[in-house]
Structure 1
Amino acid sequence: MTESVVTIEEIESDIVKVTMQDRVNKNTFSDELVSGVKKAFKMIDSNSEYKVVILTGYDNYFSSGGTKEGLLAIYEGKQKFTKLDIYNLPLDCRIPVISAMQGHGIGGGFIMGLFADFVILSRESVYTANFMKYGFTPGTGATYILEKKLGISLAEEMLLSANNYRGAELEKKGITFPVLPRADVGDYALELARQVAEKPRLSLITLKDHLVRKMRKELPEVIQQEVIMHEKTFFQEEVKERINELFGK
């Protein structure tokens, strides 16, 4: 299957790679990207041979999160971040997912990557939970998955400061993910995928279901709480000003 900005490639009979490459919008959650990623995971779910997914981006970008238009639409009350509904696709996927985050992971794009079963970062790329940069509280499950994957101290730091971090900086802070030169992320992800794919598909599905069952159960309540926080914080005039002034900077 090929979308204009999302491709799905069968690397080997049991390994599939989903590549996000909306070069015009730098892999923000454009309508085309969201539609393409949803279709890709739907197709993967219907396949009975695949054992592992590699999710990646292009060049210097993994995913840049919400679009400026999307954020302003939330401010204007026209939509909620739950409409996107792609950040949790790696979690809900039946088979293991590897986030090969070779490029920048921004906001909801970074969070989507963290919902994978395996996460690989690059030393050169920027990773940020920058929601508060614009003055509104985090969404897309960020308040949940950052603590789960990075620990409470670093999660609070990233969420409250909204700072940018190079992969090399996060490595120094003790994150447990592999952090590699950008050029090596893809090869590492493929080797890892081959190691996973050596196991029986049924066993992989059964074990993943057991390992993430609690997360799948808890996440909807967290999302509801994030929506409630948005209703308190998103409609400040300062938020609109920050989105218009700071988006993309």
Structure 2
Amino acid sequence: MLQPVVDLREVGPGIVQITMQDKINKNTFSIELIKGLIHAFESIKKNVNYKVVILTGYDNYFSSGGTKESLLSIHERKNDFTVGGLYSLALECDIPVISAMQGHGIGGGFAMGLFADFIILSRESVYTTNFMKYGFTPGMGATYILPKKLGVSLGHEMLIGACNYRGSELERRGVPFPVMPRQEVMNYAYDLAQEIAEKPRHSLITLKEHLVGDIRKELPLVIEQEVIMHEKTFHQEEVKIRINELFGK
């Protein structure tokens, strides 16, 4: 049997794990991965026994952002990044979500992970919001969540510079998340999940709703603004050239 690109399974009492494992596409936002993530979070919403979600990837990859095809589709005005609300799945999830970023988090993949309630990075992995490297402005709520979670200075640096940062460098820069060797990320996530799962589900839902209430209210306007910026920047011929060149490497 073929391995599903998104695996959903209960790994402990009240603890459910979503594993992104599209190995063919290295966890870029393929159609299969997007559909799998949406279905996984819909299934979690329907299960009244779950208390906490662990979202993770496979081997060296957490999530690698848009595919070449999806970026070219946006360039050609056939699509945009808001389809399916992928960027906000963790935010809109009723129960707490832990992003166990054991592997590389790239572009929209990194932004998606930052919308979780708890974030764990690995020292060896690369994290980047590389939108501007392709010549278009950031999407996926990145312009909001990076400054909010990482601080304005580092957030703006990552968004504008579009450089790669190892987890170890982000640790030295003082990011407010646990950063540890890759092989220790999942054990830390499980321990954290067990602590969370000890609490009553209704109380967890109530507290999360309060803690992320402002983000849920403010994000839609940010997404609208990012789409407007894309209309101004995404359709340049230079962007198409950069997409083809960078994916060709």
Which range, TM-score by smaller chain?
Answer: over 0.9
Indicate the residue corresponding to 2:42 in structure 1. 42
Q: Which residue of 2 aligns with 1:145?
A: 145
Deviates more, 1:9-18 or 1:221-230: 9-18
Q: C-alpha distance in 1, partners of 2:101/2:4?
A: 21
2-side partners of 1:248 and 1:61: how far apart?
19
Task: Give 2:214's aligned residue.
Answer: 214
TM-score normalised over the length of structure 1: 0.98
Partner of 1:27: 27
CA distance in 2, matches of 1:3, 1:60: 18
**C-alpha RMSD of the superposition:** 1.1
Q: Which runs of 4+ in 1 moved over 3 A?
A: none
Cα offset, 1:85, TM superposition:
1.8
Post-superposition offset of 1:248: 6.7
Match of 2:59 in 1: 59
Counterparts of 2:153 and 2:188 in 1: how far apart (Å)?
A: 28
- Establish whether residue 111 from structure 1 lines up as the match of residue 108 from structure 2: no
| 1:224 shift after superposition | 0.1
Deviations 1:58-112 (A, max 9, x none): 0000000100000000001100111142111000000000000000000000001
Correspondences of 1:82-161 after superposition (within 5 Å) = 82-161=82-161
Letter in 2 for 1:154: L
Query: Aligned equivalents of 2:70 and 2:116: distance in 1?
Result: 24
The percent identity for this pair of structures is 70
1:89-139 residue CA offsets vs partner (Å, 9 max, x unmatched): 000000000000000000000001000000000000000000000000000
Q: Distance in 2 between matches of 1:128 and 1:160?
A: 11
SS of 1:11's equivalent? Answer: strand
**Equivalent residue of 1:87, what SS?**
helix
* Structure 2 residues not aligned, in runs of 5+: none
1:3, 1:36 within 8 Å by CA — same for their partners in 2? no
Query: 1:175-190 maps to which residues of 2 (within 5 A)?
Result: 175-190=175-190
Per-residue deviation, residues 148-192 of structure 1 (Å, max 9, x unmatched): 100100011000000000000000001010001000000000000
- CA deviation string 1:189-215 (max 9, x = no partner): 000000011111111000000000000
Structure 1 residue 247: Cα displacement: 2.4
Q: TM-score, normalised by structure 2?
A: 0.98
Aligned to 2:204: 204
CA–CA distance in structure 2, aligned partners of residues 133 and 227 of structure 1? 18
- Aligned mates of 1:248, 1:211 — CA distance in 2: 42
Residue 6 of structure 1 contacts residue 19 of structure 1 at CA under 8 Å; is this kept in 2? Answer: yes
Say if 2:94 and 2:205, in contact at 8 Å, map to a contact too: yes
Paired position in structure 2 for 1:9: 9
C-alpha deviation, 1:228, in angstroms: 0.2
Quick one: distance in 2 between partners of 1:87 and 1:138?
12
Structure 1: state its 5+ residue gaps: none
